[in-house]
Chains A and B, each alone.
Chain A
């Protein structure tokens, strides 16, 4: 896997080729991961991936006939792994094409030149299991008799950037995660995540014991719930699925300006969230880098919604330039990276009592905007979801479709948030392993609309 020294060497070699008017940004994502896929507490697939991708962005500065600065911009990404001759072969080819193509592109009025926002490094080490021992450890007596399915992912991960203004940032860490589910003979399931930087056998055994104890209630015959509105408790993982929709063309400045986002109703004052609901981007835990591919640093804490009012949106430098607002170092797609939702006052042991009669939802599934501009979302219930009567769990439910508004579920119908918050690590593996996570309370809503 690419080391910091490999990255620095490659950087120097690339920047040494710099010609007049050329500016570069480099952005690296690298990992050396072990992946183990489990089905029925047996191994379905096992392997490892040593990968790295280096994005080279070229901004070409020139003067037009009137003497005004014109910028053209393009990027090429190639695979790099620290094998210097191979890496340079890939990079050299990419630079050649990039130089030819960028000169042909139209002027980009919203392109940015590099700035030095400060250099630094953040390296943390973990204590992971040796690869050949993982299977025996995962499938130890802790999971005896359990129908376990899931994915174990572990290994070092690195992110880095550099630019020709002199900035260079490096972040690396070592993590593991077991994203799993347990099943009853009648196909009811519960979901769990066991993750960290140091493997702890005792903690793993306890995690499985706790999950095992939750299974019997799922073996009861399932209740079929009729369509309609129900008092509903959304456990942290379920509430995070809902809150995470704000990351999909909603809290982004570009989405609001370009007519994609329901947040325009909030900005105009037509709609607001509940005063109970506050959320921020919070990087204080250091679980993921604050920098984006341009080297901009997000604030350590950026309040987004405070007591129901929109305080900030996610703004990258491109939106900043186009709309004349300050950038706050957001990613290119202005999505959430490290979301923290403020806790409420509902105590853990009062959840069922306060819910009284209604639905307890552990997880949601396959959310999508059913009306993006209107702020309406649809999705399904999944895993351990229950019908509750008079503060007592009665039975698991058959999966239900729901369709409701973010302005009711996080607004007019939000009754309480829990005092306890769960840290939900990002165990995603889209192209590469995710970093960081979200800190989320549970949410009690007065009425949630179930449609099928």
Chain B
């Protein structure tokens, strides 16, 4: 297919165009979902198409088409060109070819057990078996297990010599048990809904501890159904990595996106409390806070070699010792804002144009053990696995809920409580970060569902974090 893209580039008659690129994406998402041992969903969605992008008079225009023959691709380039011309007098910024660097890289997801190793029947059999093992007692009233498998290939060629390919293998899995105790119904998942999202193959699901995790999810669903509602208090909060991922995502990732800071997102997802002048100065959180953009972690969901504008991806610190040092913005946002950024201009599919996205945003481990964190708490709660999330359009006032929590009193873990929630404001919350767990407390998670952009783009992101301790947090329960 690369040959077709290159053919389409040849002899294009686009008067005055400075740059032309074709990005082809073919992706198959297979979803197998079992509920109570019966098939719930066995779907595969393949999308295949090409985005033609043209730069003329300082304005990019695009045309995406599912017609992938040479003639149609040339026609798409003409359409992109005409639209760019029609907008050039009103451009938000006069871009140049510097925002589309030449790239000739190759990248392929590392994988030990390829997704094709298991047939549809074998996957279904495994998911049915998980449901059966989750049903430990009649109090478990519902069981589910799911696998979402993605195979994706992208090819990129351009008039300034780019010829690059990336091949991704991605796996998201989950299982859950719902327990009922009279009027109380509680659900427990394997780390938050679809949070076990990794790059690679079946090695991320069929692990030595799989059946221990199944037993634990069933047991904790029962525990939750018998637990009291989380009490209201202002106290210490320990968050496990499967909730830290959401905390990082919503209150660090999104506010640092340069396109939000520039106002591109303000009609939709919102903008940011972070101002351009904050970079290099703002004490975002406590000095224990070190956050990186890291597309090089092999098993993390959003690792890659280059972004969808051709920029080479590498690890960068966003926050160092609590101070904001770099934003999440691709080459277009960097030149518009004059701020340092990263290679994160990504498109969710062939039919969407690249915008600033998170990729992998990680909180770097510290030195504390989990026992040290618990021992330091006089009164508080330890929460895990995200259940509810909401934050304002400037990314300040948040409220998050978790699936599972245990009280901590006088340095010791206590009883399980249900419907735990907490709320806060981004900078004061991160400044209350008191302890950061060591690498042994850390884990890699991700989500397939980060939404942003007009038109909307749902994209995959990864987050790795240790367990962390925060002080003076508003904690409360729910009504049911």
Main secondary structure of the interface of A (DSSP, over half): strand
**Complex contacts, A112 vs chain B, CB 8 Å:** none
Within 8 A of A (CB), among B392-448: 392-394, 396-397, 399, 401, 419, 421, 423, 425
**Distance between Cα atoms of A281 and B93 in the complex (Å):** 45
**Distance between Cα atoms of A48 and B125 in the complex (Å):** 43
**Distance between Cα atoms of A35 and B454 in the complex (Å):** 8
The answer to whether B92 and A40 have CB atoms under 8 Å apart is: yes
* B42, B65, B397, B478: the one within 8 Å of A101 (CB): B42
Residue of A nearest to B270 (CB): A365
How many whole Å from B126's CB to the nearest CB in chain A?
A: 12
**Complex contacts, B396 vs chain A, CB 8 Å:** 399
* B65, B79, B87, B142: the one within 8 Å of A36 (CB): B87
**Complex contacts, A229 vs chain B, CB 8 Å:** none
The answer to whether B68 and A149 have CB atoms under 8 Å apart is: no
**Distance between Cα atoms of A37 and B91 in the complex (Å):** 11
**Complex contacts, A136 vs chain B, CB 8 Å:** 86
Which interface class (under 10, 10 to 19, 20 to 34, 35 or more) fits B?
Answer: 35 or more
The answer to whether A42 and B399 have CB atoms under 8 Å apart is: no
The answer to whether A418 has its CB under 8 Å from any CB of chain B is: no
C-beta contact mask, A261-277 vs B, less than 8 Å → 1, else 0? 01000000000000000
* B68, B85, B92, B479: the one within 8 Å of A39 (CB): B92
The answer to whether B390 and A43 have CB atoms under 8 Å apart is: no
The answer to whether B83 and A75 have CB atoms under 8 Å apart is: no
**Distance between Cα atoms of A242 and B129 in the complex (Å):** 39
**Complex contacts, B86 vs chain A, CB 8 Å:** 46, 131-136
The answer to whether A47 and B92 have CB atoms under 8 Å apart is: no
C-beta contact mask, B278-318 vs A, less than 8 Å → 1, else 0? 00000000000000000000000000000000000000000
Given contacts A83-B67, A106-B39, A132-B86, A366 and B45 within 8 Å (CB-CB): no
The answer to whether A90 and B46 have CB atoms under 8 Å apart is: yes
* A45, A49, A105, A181: the one within 8 Å of B39 (CB): A105
**Complex contacts, B48 vs chain A, CB 8 Å:** 78-79, 90
The answer to whether B392 and A401 have CB atoms under 8 Å apart is: yes
The answer to whether A399 and B393 have CB atoms under 8 Å apart is: yes
**Complex contacts, A40 vs chain B, CB 8 Å:** 92, 263
**Complex contacts, B72 vs chain A, CB 8 Å:** 83
The answer to whether A109 and B178 have CB atoms under 8 Å apart is: no
**Distance between Cα atoms of A75 and B62 in the complex (Å):** 31
The answer to whether B42 and A380 have CB atoms under 8 Å apart is: no
The answer to whether B480 has its CB under 8 Å from any CB of chain A is: yes
The answer to whether A42 and B91 have CB atoms under 8 Å apart is: yes
The answer to whether B465 has its CB under 8 Å from any CB of chain A is: no
The answer to whether B268 has its CB under 8 Å from any CB of chain A is: yes
* B82, B125, B267, B390: the one within 8 Å of A131 (CB): B82
C-beta contact mask, A89-113 vs B, less than 8 Å → 1, else 0? 0100010010011101110111000
C-beta contact mask, B63-92 vs A, less than 8 Å → 1, else 0? 111111100100000011011111100111
Residue of B nearest to A85 (CB): B69
The answer to whether A51 has its CB under 8 Å from any CB of chain B is: yes
The answer to whether B180 has its CB under 8 Å from any CB of chain A is: yes
The answer to whether A110 and B390 have CB atoms under 8 Å apart is: no
Residue of B nearest to A264 (CB): B185
The answer to whether A369 has its CB under 8 Å from any CB of chain B is: yes
The answer to whether B394 and A399 have CB atoms under 8 Å apart is: yes
**Complex contacts, A428 vs chain B, CB 8 Å:** 456
**Complex contacts, B125 vs chain A, CB 8 Å:** 106
The answer to whether A376 and B425 have CB atoms under 8 Å apart is: no
The answer to whether A338 has its CB under 8 Å from any CB of chain B is: no
Residue of B nearest to A152 (CB): B454
Which interface class (under 10, 10 to 19, 20 to 34, 35 or more) fits A?
Answer: 35 or more
The answer to whether A81 and B266 have CB atoms under 8 Å apart is: no
The answer to whether B393 and A382 have CB atoms under 8 Å apart is: yes
The answer to whether A327 has its CB under 8 Å from any CB of chain B is: no
How many whole Å from A10's CB to the nearest CB in chain B?
A: 13
The answer to whether B91 and A180 have CB atoms under 8 Å apart is: no
Given contacts A259-B185, A365-B393, A374-B479, A81 and B267 within 8 Å (CB-CB): no
Residue of B nearest to A180 (CB): B267
The answer to whether A189 and B83 have CB atoms under 8 Å apart is: no
The answer to whether A151 and B455 have CB atoms under 8 Å apart is: yes
**Complex contacts, B154 vs chain A, CB 8 Å:** none
**Complex contacts, B62 vs chain A, CB 8 Å:** 45-48
How many whole Å from B332's CB to the nearest CB in chain A?
A: 9
The answer to whether B327 has its CB under 8 Å from any CB of chain A is: no
* B83, B91, B128, B478: the one within 8 Å of A106 (CB): B128
**Complex contacts, A139 vs chain B, CB 8 Å:** 90
The answer to whether B393 and A258 have CB atoms under 8 Å apart is: no
The answer to whether A380 and B84 have CB atoms under 8 Å apart is: no
**Distance between Cα atoms of A94 and B47 in the complex (Å):** 12
How many whole Å from B95's CB to the nearest CB in chain A?
A: 11
* A39, A86, A429: the one within 8 Å of B264 (CB): A39
**Complex contacts, A150 vs chain B, CB 8 Å:** 267, 454
**Complex contacts, B63 vs chain A, CB 8 Å:** 47-50
Could you list 9 examples of A-B contacts with CB < 8 Å?
A41-B90, A48-B62, A49-B65, A49-B352, A94-B44, A102-B42, A109-B38, A151-B267, A368-B389
Extra A-B contacts (14), CB below 8 Å, given A43-B90, A51-B65: A37-B454, A39-B266, A43-B87, A45-B353, A81-B67, A101-B42, A106-B125, A108-B38, A135-B86, A259-B178, A372-B480, A379-B390, A380-B391, A380-B397
Binding site for A on B (CB under 8 A): 38-39, 42-49, 59-69, 72, 79-80, 82-87, 90-92, 119-121, 124-125, 128, 141-142, 178, 180, 185, 187, 262-264, 266-268, 270, 351-353, 355, 388-394, 396-397, 399, 401, 419, 421, 423, 425, 451, 454-456, 458, 474, 478-480
The 5 closest A-B pairs by CB, nearest first: A371-B478, A104-B121, A374-B479, A47-B62, A374-B480
